[in-house]
Amino acid sequence: MMIQETLSTPVKMECDVLVAGGGIAGISAAIAAAREGKSVILCERMFMLGGLATAGLVTVYLPLCDGYGRQVSFGISEELLRLSVAESPIDSRGYHDWIAHPESEHNENTPRYAVDFNPHLFAINTEKLLLSLGVKILYGTTVVQALAKNGLVEAVICEGKAERFAIRVKAVVDSTGDADVATFADIPTALFKQGNVLAGWYYSVSEQGYKLHMVGACDVPDEDKNGTEGKPLIQRRFQSIETVELSEQTILSHEATHNHYLRMQKTDKTHEPVTIASIPQVRMTRRVDGEYTLDTPEMHTFFADSIGLVSNWKKRGPVYEVPFRTLYSDKVKNVFFAGRCTSCTDAMWDIMRVIPCCAVTGEASGIASALFAECGEVSLLTLQEKLQSRGVVLHEKDLK
């Protein structure tokens, strides 16, 4: 059964760049586009920025380095790492070591350039940064449709607390994590084949202090399995892009959190939950099928259209150049992708979905969208020059 609707949607706003999704990728894209002097609107369905990093309590800013003493990710990726601990300098990883000592003193035996952070302060400080750049933030707002004509998105339809409205755009960054704008604009996408396992991370306070409990964990892609993977909380897997399933996943997550709390209470009566995840802790769902699909064997591979470098958070050594072609599809020319919905294989997805990589792709897509808004096309040379002017290293051969 279908209900036929006829809608007249008012155009309430317009902007040069619309950023859909306010996770780390969206934050980075909005910063980059705003610094190019463009009017930017960021739509975020929650009422805090940061996505999984903050609302999802995945509060680990994974390495900017290759594990052998070379920093590989720069620009906004490093800027946000420093911002994440600007007021709460937690020292459980290698961040302070890297700040206090020159890079040349780091090697495979020293901690990597990573840090744990306070999610609440990080969300507030990213909000302040975006507002200082003139970005208009629309909280509680979801992009529900993209109106494309002649290979361009001309407007997006949004739904907020009490209204449905349109925003006219010149360019769009899809940082939804689920390639939602791609789906609305009929851009080819692909699903993560094996689905997500259940997680129920939360923070507690006790006599031992404030602590993150990683209840359940993300699974590794099938091709990376070696028999040492931890046992999932339940056998069920989740595609995590449909309302009923996401609701069930969230309820099961709450149950897992509560069960862990009850177990901890048996040996420590001071153990009390203080923060639970306010969004489902999903890692990989749907991505764009872009002009190039990056794969794990392509470590240390030169790409002429690289927009930055990322490392493998799971092991020391690999460095990847990220082709600009993974951030767009020629089907719709003014939509760019950032974060966990860029074009890569399932195995590479597990590398590209994390915070530093989201910031790297976000910065590039933000600048690309600003360039498109200005002249209706993106010059790769101009994009790369702008990234380099911001301190981004594009090719591994140029690392110190």
pLDDT tens track, the chain, 400 positions: 999 988 899 999 999 999 999 999 999 999 999 999 999 999 999 999 999 999 999 999 999 999 999 999 999 999 999 999 999 866 678 898 898 876 668 889 999 999 999 999 999 999 999 999 999 999 999 999 999 999 999 999 999 998 999 999 999 999 999 999 999 999 999 999 999 999 999 999 999 899 999 999 767 777 777 777 778 889 899 999 999 999 999 999 999 999 999 999 999 999 999 999 999 999 999 999 999 999 999 999 999 999 999 999 999 999 999 999 999 999 999 999 999 999 999 999 999 999 999 999 999 999 999 999 999 999 999 999 999 999 999 999 999 8
CA distances 324 to 104, 135, 141, 309, 367, Å, are 30, 24, 28, 11, 12
Tell me the domain boundaries of the chain: 11-192+285-398, 202-276
Nearest-angstrom CA–CA distance, 388 and 371: 15
Neighbours of 243 (CB within 10 A): 7
Q: Are 72 and 311 in contact (CB under 8 A)?
A: yes
Q: Which CATH superfamily is domain 11-192+285-398 in?
A: FAD/NAD(P)-binding domain (3.50.50.60)
Q: What is the DSSP letter of 198?
A: P
| Alpha-helical regions (H) of 101-226 | 119-132, 180-184
Q: What is the pLDDT of residue 317?
A: 97
**Tell me, what's the pLDDT at 104?**
66
Q: In this predicted structure, what is the pLDDT of residue 89?
A: 67
Please count the residues of the chain: 400
Nearest to 142 by CA among 111, 116, 177, 114: 177
Computed on alpha carbons and rounded to an integer, the radius of gyration of the chain in Å comes to 21
